[in-house]
Chain A
Amino acid sequence: MKIKDYIGIGILIIVIAAMPDLVGNDYYLGVLIFTAFNCLTCTGLCLLMGYTGQISIGHGAFIAIGAYSSAILTTKLGWSPWTAMGCGVLLAAITAVIVGIPTMRLKGHYLAMATLGFASIVHIVSVAAVDVTGGPSGISGIPRLQIFGFALNSDTRNFYFSWGVVVVGLYLAVNLIHSRVGRGLQAIHGSEDAASSLGVNIAVDKIKILVLSAIYASISGSLYAHYVLYIDPGPFDIMHSVLLVTMVAVGGLHNIWGAITGAVLLSLLPEFLSFLSEYLQGIGIRYQTDYDTLIYGSILLLIMLFLPEGLFEGLSRSLKSISGFRGKLAGRSSERAD
């Protein structure tokens, strides 16, 4: 790990520790908890998309697998939430291997479509298999998580726990990126042929990283189920998978901090838009939540057209260039003074 990453994680921990007091409102705390779930999935997705260069528009499916495993095993079979979550992770990993072996042979567009198709199949099954998943009406009565008898029964506790998981996930991911394996993955992104000639087992590595990102998604799904205590197929549709890709792409594909930035920004965007709509109503413009989709799309398009490295890289680069410019100005003025 580089020193920058330690600083980043340190800052993140401080912000997380201070957040509940700063927010002080259960509704916004809830929004931030959902943000944590998205961050967790996006961390995994960024490992797959940004570092290994394999696009997946199917991560909603792995979230669904985690969430439904937790929900079904705890409510119908009465298992403990932790065992259920473990089973969800195992199931997601096995699914990832099964889907991954043929899928990862595909590239680019084919891979995108195959994962999209996989996500739609999982969504269709979750709607249609009424006996198992409860169909469109979903499953309710999911128990809360307990850590050694300490129940996560308030939003503050859930907040700390879910963001704690994010920090652990992030730490592991950053460690992986700076390891030998991580450098191998980045080599795959650069050129599969070159990576393979340098001794990177690309087929196995691609599957491994898909499994890892599926595990991240599955854990985030399980946490979602145990926080909301009710699940239905709605949040796991294709649009959610697309939204996850959007988050990673907006923040920055090639940087895990970018993925986190994107996940936070886009998860908070609906709240920001509702603020904006109140403001706009004040000056006589009617804004409806229906426009949200349009705004998501426009942001994604603008970022891809003008800042293809994403907000994080783009902003840090422009900050650098501004400070460089200032330095130049300062240099010139001092020259003049001479």
Chain B
Amino acid sequence: MIWIQHDPVIDSGHILLKSLFFYPVLKKQIRKNITGRAMTESTISDILQFMFMGIQRGCIYALAAIGFNMIYNATGIINFAQGEFVVIGGLMMVTLTMTWNLPIPLAFLLTTAFVTLIGIAMERFTINPVKHPTVLRLIIITIAVSIIIKGAAMCFWGKNSHFMRHFSSAETLDFYGATILPQTIWIIGILLFIVAGYIFFFNYTMTGKCMRACAINRDAARLAGINDRKMVMLSFALSAGIGAIAGIIITPIIQMDYARGALLGIKGFGAAVLGGLGNSMGAIIAGVLIGVLEALAAGYISSHYMDAIALIILLLVLFVRPSGLFGSSEAMRLKEF
């Protein structure tokens, strides 16, 4: 398994860490530059405020994008039901914490397990039985699953949006003139935790290495004795679980309803493509970037067109550079869609 040693997918992880570590330094410089140009203190705090808003949404897109990538790497399928995993995660969490009054850590685990099971069921009953898959057929199957999940969510949770209490207090903290919700810190923390887990899983565990081997060359992996069908199931399970976590952590801020899945899904896909499809570290940077751009657009252009920003970015990337910011265009030519 020599190919696992030099994989740009995982190695690009340090780009993210670098950018995170240097963020305070950068910010100081930006502050200096901007104040040098006679900008008021409030503009900076505005920008900072939009950054926070953007980062918290961006983390969700990043998590959705990781979900897309996992299934894409294992199967070459884009799962159009990815957004629905996020929605179900959020709604299930609402029921467990607000109606059943379970403590948040327990509800978190139960919800993630539940959605993971949905992911496994989806793979077992809809993807696995397809004997002669064509791209068109697989796309329509995942669309059908997304319609079913959406319909089920509407039946169980109704059409109104649901409120959920924050993980810790809902009072905002002051940060350089901008306010930040403790929930935002939770979101960033959990994203970092998942990223760390992701890197660990794919680099240091046998199962993770097997999954990567399957992603690189399924036939070769099968010849090396890896059960590729199991890996496909595992990728659906993990992707659903990560989607659920995204839904759980964002629900206190955006109030989940059944119909959000499609848009969350497209934006997550936008992040995945911008970062280079299949490249999860790129997806995280791209997700946060899209979130921030969206928040800035909402602040400085118009909040009505906020949702369009991510979609326009998606289309531009698809049209101009389908391999994304961090993907290589040569590798892209070899991939099948």
Contacts and interface: CB of A to CB of B under 8 A. Distances in A.
- A and B bind: yes
Contact of A298 (B148, B305, B315): B148
Interface string B294-337: 00000000101101100110110011001000000000000011
A102 B307 CA distance: 22
Nearest to B141: A304
Nearest to A301: B144
Given A55-B139, A108-B135, A294-B152, A121 B315 contact: yes
Nearest to A135: B304
A87 to B, nearest CB: 24
Contacts of A298: 144, 148
B152 A117 contact: no
A108 B312 contact: no
B190 interface: no
Given A107-B337, A108-B337, A305 B155 contact: no
B130 interface: yes
Interface string B149-192: 11110110001000000000000000000000000000000000
Name which of B132, B141, B152 has the most chain A CB atoms within 10 A of its CB: B141
Contact of A109 (B154, B307, B337): B337
A267 interface: no
Contacts of A110: 273, 318, 322, 337
Interface string A102-118: 11001111111110111
Contacts of B319: 102-103, 114
Interface centre among A57, A109, A127 (most CB of B within 10 A): A109
Contacts of A301: 126, 141, 144-145, 148
Contacts of B154: 290, 293-294
A268 interface: no
Interface string B253-290: 00000000011001001100100000000000000000
A137 to B, nearest CB: 14
B305 A304 contact: no
Contacts, number: 136
Interface string B111-154: 00000000000000010011010011101110111111111101
B78 interface: yes
Q: Do most interface residues of chain B lie in helix, strand or loop, or is the interface mixed?
A: helix
Contacts of B263: 120, 238
A308 B304 CA distance: 40
Contacts of A160: none
B311 A117 contact: yes
A118 B305 contact: no
Contacts of B141: 301, 304-305
A176 B152 CA distance: 41
A296 B270 contact: no
Interface in A219-244: 238-239, 242
B266 A113 contact: yes
A49 B136 contact: yes
Contacts of B314: 113-114, 117
A53 interface: yes
Nearest to A295: B151
B135 A109 contact: yes
Interface string A268-292: 0000000000000000000010111
B132 to A, nearest CB: 8
A123 to B, nearest CB: 9
Interface of B: 77-78, 80, 126, 129-130, 132, 135-137, 139-141, 143-152, 154-155, 159, 262-263, 266, 269-270, 273, 302, 304-305, 307-308, 311-312, 314-315, 318-319, 322, 336-337
9 contacts: A55-B136, A55-B139, A103-B319, A108-B135, A113-B273, A114-B319, A117-B315, A120-B307, A239-B262
Given A120-B311, A290-B151, A301-B148, 5 more contacts: A114-B314, A118-B315, A246-B143, A294-B152, A304-B141
